[in-house]
Structure formats: C-alpha cells, structure tokens
Chain A
Amino acid sequence: MSRSYHPLRELPLRYRLWLALLPSHVRDEHGRELRDDLTDHTPSMGPFVLDVLKAAPTAHWDVLRQDLILAARQLRRAPAFSLIAGLTLAVGIGGNVAFFTLIDAVLLRQLPITSAERIVDITEENVGRGMLTFGIAPANFRDLTRDTTLFQAAAVYGSRSGTARIGETLERVPYAAVSGDFFRVFIDRPLAGRVLHRADDVPDASSIVLSYRYWQRAFGGDPAVIGRSLVVDGTPLQVVGIMPESFAFPTATTAFWRPIALTDGEWERRGARFVSAVARLRSGVTIPEVAAKSAATGRSLAVQHPRTNDGWSVLVRELRDARVSRVRTPLLFVWAAGALVLLIAVANVASLFLTRAVAREREVALRAALGARAGRVVRQLVTEGLVLASLSAAAGIGIAYWVLERIRPLATDFVPRMHEVAIGARTVWYAVVLVLLATALLSVVATTPVRGARLWDALGGGRASPSRRRRRLQRGIVVAEMALAVFVLVAGALVVRTLVRVLAQPMGFDARDVLTFRVEPPWRVNLTASLDTVISAMAADRRRANDGYAALLDQLRAIPGVTNAGAINRLPLTGDWWTTGVRLPERPGNAQEDRIPTYVRPVTPGYLEAMGTRVLRGRAPAATDAAGTERVLVVDGEFARRTWGTADPIGREVLFDGPPNHPAPRARVVGVVEGVRMSRLDAELRPTIYVPFAQAPEGHYLDWGMDVVVRGVTPRAGDEIRRIARGVFPDAAVFRVASMEDVVSVSTADRRFQLLVLGVFGGIALVLATIGVGGALLLSVRERRRELAVRVALGARPDRLWWGVQREGLMLAGGGALIGVMGAMAAARVFSSLVYGVSVRDPLALAAGPVLVIVAGFVAAAIPATRALQVSPVAALRD
C-alpha cells in the first residue's frame, strides 16, 4: 500500500521506475530483498532494464492465471450468485449488442458502394406544405447540377415496378429507371457485361442491367443471360450486364436498371417533382459546400420561376443519410434504451458484488492480515469481474443473434438495409468494449470495501459497525436503477399511448374481413407519340381496363360470402401517392395558391362500400357514372371543409387538368364521404377526392393497375382470387394478396417495433431494478440483524418491523421514481419523435413508470421484510 512504509522508496528513482513494471505483489512481498540486492550489488542500468523487461510479462501472466483459476472457483462456489449476475449481464450486453449491430449496419457503416461518401442525394421539399424530401423536377435538376466544378456526374432515377415474364410465369418486380449518367455517379464495375451509358438513354431504349439477386433468382445465376431478352410489361428488353451483389441501389430488391428515357418535354418540367436525383461530387468538394451552393441556386430558381418553385427549397445530403433519415431517430432511441438497460444491469451486478463483498469482508480482511496486500486483493476482484463479464458477453452475443432474428421480420417493413445486418467482427469488438466498461464499473464498486482499507476495522471493531460508505453507495445504485427503469418505462408508455391512439382514431374504413390484392396489366401508353394518338390510345386502354375490372368484380362478388368488391388505383396505407391537385371554377388560374393539393383516387363502383367508408351526404360512385355521361366526383369531409367550409358541397364543381390547349374538364360533386388516412395512420387527414374509374383520366400514375378490395373473404381464398384474376387479365401480374388488417399492421410496423423494443427493455429494466431493491434490503436486514434481534427480544411488534423494511424499499423506489420522472420530463424533446397525437408530458404515461416501479419496490421488499421478522435473537447475538 502506498500509505504504509515501502522499502523500495529508498531506491533511486531510475530503479523504482522500471521495477514498477513488475506485479505489485512481487514488489510488495520482496521489496526489502530487492532493495538490499540493488543497494549491495548496484547493477548497471542496461542489464537491469533488460532483466525487468524479461521478467515482467511472465510474472503478470502468472498472476492472471492464478486469478483466473481463483475466479472460476469463486464463481463455481456460488452458483446462484454467478447465474443471476451472469444472466443479468448477458441480457444487458445481448440487447445492447443487438441494437448496436442494427445501427452499425444501417446508420454507421457506409453503403457498400464504391466511394459512396462522395455521392449525394438531391431533393426538393416544400416545408410549408408538408412535402418533405419530395423528389425533384427534371428542369430544376438540370439547373442545380449544371456546375461541373461541384459535380463530376449527376443522374435522375425513378423507382418503378413492372410485370416480368419468364417462361409462363408473370412476376411483379421492382426496378429503377435511370438517366444516362447514372453509372457515372455509381462507378461500381459490373460483374459481367457492361453498365448503361448515355447512348442507352434514348426513346425506345431497351438495354437493361440485372441486379445480382434478380439474376440469381430469375436466371439461376446463368452467365449466358447477357444478350438474352427479358419481357417486361410486354416489351422485350435486352440484358447487357449484371451488377455485383454489393450494389443495392435504390433498394435491395431492385431487379434491374433500365434507361428512364425522359422526353424533351419531360426534361422541361419544373412543377412536377417526379424523379429522384443523385450526384457524384468532384474530389475536394465537401457536402456542406455543395448543400449551401445548391440551396442558393434553389432560392434563385424560386425567384425566376415563382409559379412552380415558390416555397420549394433544395436539400443535398450524403446518400447514406438520405437513405436512412427516416429511421435514424427511432433506431438511436432503441439503442439508447438498450444502453440504459445495460447500465442498470451493470449497476445490479455491482450491487450484487457489493452484497457479497460484505459476506467476504472478513475473508478479505483475513487474507490481508496474513500478508496479502490490498492491491493483490483488488486485482483478484477485478479479474473476477472480467471473467464474469466475458462469459456474459459470450452468452450476450448469442442473445443478440436471437434478438436480431426476432426483430428482422418486423424491422424489414420499414428499416432500409436490413439485409446488411449481421453479427460480425465489429459486433464482437463492440462486445469487448462493453466487457471492459462493465468490468471497470464493477471493479470500482466491488473493490470499494477493500480500497476503504479499514481492514482492521472489519476484523475487530467492525463487528458492529457496517461500512456506511458502502451502504450509501448501494442505495445510490438502486435509486439510479429505479430512475433509469422509470425513464425507459415512460418512453414505452408513450409509445403504447400513441399506438392505441393511432389505431383507435377513425381510419375511414373497416379493415375487418377485407381481402386486398393488386392487379397490374402491362399496358403502357406511348407518351412520345402525338397528343391525339395518346388521347385515343388512352381512351381505348381505359375501355379495356374498365370492362376487365367490371368483369373481375362481378366474378368476385359471386364468391360465396362476399358482400361487396371494388377497386381503387392506390390503396390507403400503401405509400405516399400524392397527386398534383385540382382547381375551382371560381379560381381557374394556374397559380400555385389556386390549386388545392389533393389525393385524386379513381375508384370503381362498390369500392367505398367494400372498404366500409361511410357516405355522409349524397351518394358513392355508381355503375351509371360511365364514360360519356356527366362527369361526377365524390369528395371527403376534409376536402369539403377546407374548400367550402360549412356550405353544402353537393352540386358544386371542380376543375381537373386537361391535356394542353384543351378546356379543363369539370366534374360535379355528388357525394361526401368520411376522411381516410391515405399515406399513414399517424399523419394529418389530407383532402381526397374519388372519381369514377370509367370517367376520369386523372389520378393515374401512367398505369392501369388497381388495388382490389373484397369484403367477406379471408386470405385463404387467395388461390381462387388469383385464378379469377388470371382469367380476366391473362397478361397481368396479381400480387400483394393480403388482408386489409395486415396492410394496417405493416403501416404501423415502425411503432410496433418501437413498442416491442421499449416494452421488452422496460420489462427487463423493471425486473432488474426489483432485484436491485430486494438485494439492497436483504443486505440491510442482514447487517441490522443484531439490532432487529434486540428489538424482537424486547417485544417489538412484528408489523412495525415489517413496515420498517417496507418503508425503506418504498423510499428507494420513490426516490428513483421521482428522479426518473424528472428525467423523462427533461427529455421531452427526445421523446417527441416517439409520439403522435399524445403529449410528451402525457400524465398517464408519466404516471405509468413510477407506479410500476413503486409496486415493484413493494414486492421486492416483501422478502427482506419477512426475513426481518425471522431473525433469531440467539443466533444473531452469537454471531
């Protein structure tokens, strides 16, 4: 010990410094001999240093080996203790490692794309109208990326899907339509063949590059596929190359890349933000620099083209950030919750160590008295912590693997890059860091009694006076555990409240007993043809589609049990399918403020009935609303309220956008229906109008695909439905067969994921904190058993004793609850990302944590309180 006399102090500093490399107990126990030796036979520095350097590692290894053996024996000797402490740590480490692995793969690690750090995503957004990261208009893209001192290459792309025919199978596949420089932005080399070039991006372009996954899945990895053709939406496309497995952009499911082939007219468009954009920066150009310059360009575009660009701003982000921006906060949140739980676990184990330290106090003191220096004892305790933490971490990695496999199906619905999530070397390193941190924390706590160094107190006078310091420390730990548990529980309660709220609000439809699937006929209108040809071609396709869907719905309605069936071009909760908006005859101008942003949804007769969307006034679209008859529409309550206030909407007119130089088509309102949350359940209601499918060209996304809803059947009827659909549309893909309840469920996957994680973590935190309180009180009872025994002997009332212990437990839990609630209140800003429609200071959520913790404290105190009554005066006093 440094405080006591040490013979080595008498040596010159040059010897002492080097001798410090030897284990302390060698120095301590042979200090006198070393001093004498070195004083009597002063060696020269060279050989002396060499000798110490040679001896030190072996000596340290000897100590470590002994301590490891001792630690293993110690753990075996108290299996219950080891199991509880080990499991606690393993669960804490496992949860934490699982979420680190997730975050590492999704947020931290760079995309597996060549020099991805120099690729940016460029998007426009209109914050005022709530259109965030909305896409970009081609003309704006050109103006923004014109500066070649900033950009090496830039490209637009769109995520699309098409019906691919391979042999007799039709399959709906997602693909990307990309402009000429796409593969100059992404410079990954193809696995075989070539990438797409500018020369490919022409009208009637037919070259495609396959993704590795699709090549494997659809072609069995046949290298001879290059040069062959793949029929997509009825058009044969030529395979010219295959990309490597690592290249997964825009998504992991992208089947192939084909030229986007925008027309000159489309490149001129400034108001329609229908493509996405990426660009490669020149080396030496930083992202903030580009972001600032692009924002400035965006502002000047807004001045030059107020009609299309007013209110819009430009956002430039690193590609990785753009891809994961939506999940960043929720993921960091669950990781933070995991970190808190780990902290609780470590605190708990530290508290257990402390409890045991009391039991071992005499043993330690005895060893000290017999010559073992405190340093040696501390080292032994640290090694024991290290062994325990390492074993727990090994189990923790197993737990993490298990957790990830459970999370994967749920998270895949909303977390990008899930396929990259796997336990690997970085996970193990992270676990090693956790082990070291946990060991450090454990060691500091567990060695407190030893470092207190009042060894003689413990042996002699200590018989009656327990270490106040250790008791305070343990209480502090328990209160902190309780506070952390409350914090996590409040977060969980907020998510529960939000989810309940989101699911309980009127959705505008009745999801029970509704089956839905999508039909996508492969007909495409050739937009490059002359306007008249396009219009007549579209009219022909419309007739074909109309007749087809009418026949399909008739056959579906004939299935036993089916009460109604209908179709809509885009089903609610399947994506944010915005449309550009409509105008009113009173304000027919083309200015931005004259347009009412609206979801325009073509529907067949029977759709609103099948979905269970209630008609508030007037009627729903009917079979009589055919092509050639008066054009009608149905608005939702939100559209009516925002447009006409409280006035009756029935009979009013709305203007749509017609073909250029044609009079704007107008339609008359014949009904008002309840509002439906189209894009997300946890978003504002947006104005929506329904137009009869037979009449309106509006609201289509250049396809004739429809989501069909059938009321009265379960997904088990899927095969029959497929057969019927194939009969009507032999060349169409039929996909996404699901119950409407599943659609709702998938749309809330992110919140259910948060709920699951916070719920599990909250539960673990609560259990751990309960064990913590129980442990501390047990120790307190054990320490006070003499006092208790005296009181029992003097005839104290048992209920008084019992409540005495209970009060102690409630004080600990109450203190923790108070701190936890204050913490949760202070963290309101962090919590705001978790909630929707519920206040972050929701009293019910804020109360849930403390109530649970106080109940837990009460339960935890029951065992020690009961034990207090069983103290045998004779046994206690004999001790």
Chain B
Amino acid sequence: MTDDTGPLSPTSYQILLALAGRDRHGYLIRKAVEQQTDGAMRLGPGTLYAAIRRLEDEGLVEESPWRPDADLDDRRRRYYRLTKSGRAALQAETERMRATVEFALRQLKTRPAR
C-alpha cells in the first residue's frame, strides 16, 4: 500500500532487518531482533504479531512459501519474507540512518570535547 518510504518505527525496522537475510517464522524473528540489538529490543508476542500484521497490510512483508529441510521444518509455522517495497523501505531507512551517523561523526570531529 505504501510506496513512500517514510520513517519506519524501530520495531518495524528491526523486523524488516531480521527478514533481510532469510525468511523466518515469528519466533525466529523475535530471536533475530534480540540478537541484532544485543538484547536491547525484546518483542513480546503481542507487539510482534501486531507489527507483522501492519507490515503485511502495508505490503512490506508477505507470507513466504519457502520451507527449510523437511526434518528441520516446523510445518505448523508461517514463514515471512520481505516484499520488493519492504526491501526498498529497509534500504531507504538504512541510508537515512547512515547519513545521520556520518553527520553526527563529522560534528563530533569538528568540535572536540573540551
């Protein structure tokens, strides 16, 4: 639904990021987010599925037909993957963050702490 890549909420960003490398099911997303943020962001099931619902409605995430090896696969699980616009949104948000970080670093260099 959204073509514009407006700022993503931290939760949405982390979920998209968790799906950037591979498709995952809900619980794996939570684990991945926890890892990505060094445990700073722990998503409860309520937050997670409400967020996935929203990302699905916004067309950034969709259900994936992909399954891992049969013996590893938990057949009950729904896997999710990034859509094209999901990847674009993640990309744009990352660029924005990088610009912010670079700007911040330059500022810190020009005016060293006294």
**B-binding residues in A (CB < 8 A):** 18-19, 22-23, 25-26, 29-30, 32-34, 36-38, 40-41, 43, 47-48, 50-52, 54-56, 58-59, 62, 66
Contact = CB atoms under 8 A, between A and B. Distances in A.
B87 interface: no
B65 interface: no
Contacts of B77: 33, 36
Given A33-B25, A33-B78, A37-B27, A43 B49 contact: no
B31 to A, nearest CB: 10
B57 A66 contact: yes
Contacts of B50: 22-23, 26, 55-56, 58-59, 62
B84 interface: no
B44 interface: yes
B78 A55 contact: no
B52 interface: yes
B47 to A, nearest CB: 4
B46 interface: yes
B54 A48 contact: no
Contacts of B46: 18-19, 22, 48, 51-52, 54-56
Contacts of A62: 50, 53-54, 57
Contacts of A48: 44-46
Interface string B45-81: 1110111111001000000000000000000111000
Contact of B47 (A23, A32, A36, A55): A55
Chain B interface size, under 10 / 10 to 19 / 20 to 34 / 35 or more: 10 to 19
Given A41-B27, A47-B44, A50-B44, A34 B49 contact: yes
B57 A51 contact: no
Contacts of A41: 27
A32 B54 CA distance: 17
A97 B80 CA distance: 52
A32 B44 contact: no
Nearest to A60: B50
B44 A30 contact: no
A43 B27 CA distance: 13
Given A37-B26, A59-B50, 18 more contacts: A22-B46, A26-B53, A29-B53, A30-B49, A32-B76, A33-B25, A36-B27, A48-B45, A48-B46, A51-B43, A51-B44, A51-B46, A52-B46, A54-B47, A55-B51, A59-B54, A62-B53, A62-B57
Nearest to A32: B76
20 contacts: A22-B46, A25-B53, A29-B53, A32-B76, A32-B78, A36-B77, A43-B45, A47-B42, A47-B44, A48-B45, A48-B46, A51-B44, A51-B45, A51-B46, A54-B47, A58-B50, A59-B53, A62-B53, A62-B54, A62-B57
A36 B45 CA distance: 10
Contact of A51 (B25, B27, B47, B52): B47
B49 A33 contact: yes
Nearest to B50: A59
Nearest to B56: A29
B44 A40 contact: no
B46 to A, nearest CB: 4
A40 B27 contact: yes
Interface string B82-99: 000000000000000000
B6 to A, nearest CB: 13
Nearest to A19: B46
Contacts of B47: 51, 54-55
A865 B89 CA distance: 56
Contacts of A40: 27
A116 to B, nearest CB: 53
A160 to B, nearest CB: 72
A50 B44 CA distance: 9
A38 B44 CA distance: 10
A30 B53 contact: yes
- A50, A51, A66: which has the most chain B beta carbons within 10 Å? A51
A32 B57 CA distance: 18
Nearest to B25: A33
Contacts of A34: 45, 49
B54 A38 contact: no
A22 B53 CA distance: 11
A56 B50 CA distance: 8
B57 A26 contact: no
Interface in B1-45: 25-27, 42-45
Contacts of B26: 30, 33, 37
Contacts of A18: 46
A36 B47 CA distance: 16
Nearest to A29: B53
B44 A43 contact: yes
A33 B26 CA distance: 7
Nearest to B49: A30
A18 B44 CA distance: 13
Given A37-B26, A62-B54, A26 B44 contact: no
A18 B57 CA distance: 23
| 10 residue pairs, one from A and one from B, having the closest CB atoms | A51-B44, A59-B50, A52-B46, A55-B46, A55-B47, A30-B49, A55-B50, A51-B46, A26-B53, A37-B45
B90 to A, nearest CB: 19
B36 to A, nearest CB: 18
A70 to B, nearest CB: 11
Nearest to A47: B44
A402 to B, nearest CB: 40
Given A33-B26, A33-B78, A38 B45 contact: yes
Contacts of B25: 33
A34 B45 CA distance: 7
A51 B78 CA distance: 22
A30 B53 CA distance: 8
A19 B50 CA distance: 11
A34 B48 CA distance: 10
B37 to A, nearest CB: 16
Contacts of A26: 49-50, 53
A33 B77 CA distance: 7
A108 to B, nearest CB: 44
Task: Give the one of B27, B44, B45, B47 with max A CB within 10 A.
Answer: B45
Nearest to B51: A55
B48 to A, nearest CB: 8
A50 B42 CA distance: 12
A37 B25 CA distance: 10
Nearest to B53: A26
A139 to B, nearest CB: 79
Nearest to B47: A55
B64 to A, nearest CB: 14
Contacts of A56: 46, 50
A55 B54 contact: no
Contacts of A52: 44, 46
Contacts of B27: 36-37, 40-41
A535 to B, nearest CB: 95
Interface-centre pick from A19, A22, A55, A56 (highest chain B CB count, 10 A): A55
A47 B45 CA distance: 10
Contacts of B54: 58-59, 62
B29 to A, nearest CB: 10
Contact of A30 (B42, B43, B52, B57): B52
Nearest to B52: A30
Nearest to B78: A33
Contacts of B44: 43, 47-48, 50-52, 54-55
In the complex, which of the residues A30, A34, A58 has the most CB atoms of chain B within 10 Å of its own CB atom?
A: A30
A62 B47 CA distance: 13
B44, B46, B51, B78 pick with most chain A CB within 10 angstroms: B46
B89 to A, nearest CB: 16
A26 B52 CA distance: 9
A262 B18 CA distance: 93
A294 to B, nearest CB: 66
A22 B25 CA distance: 20
Contacts of A22: 46, 49-50
A48 B50 CA distance: 14
Nearest to A27: B49
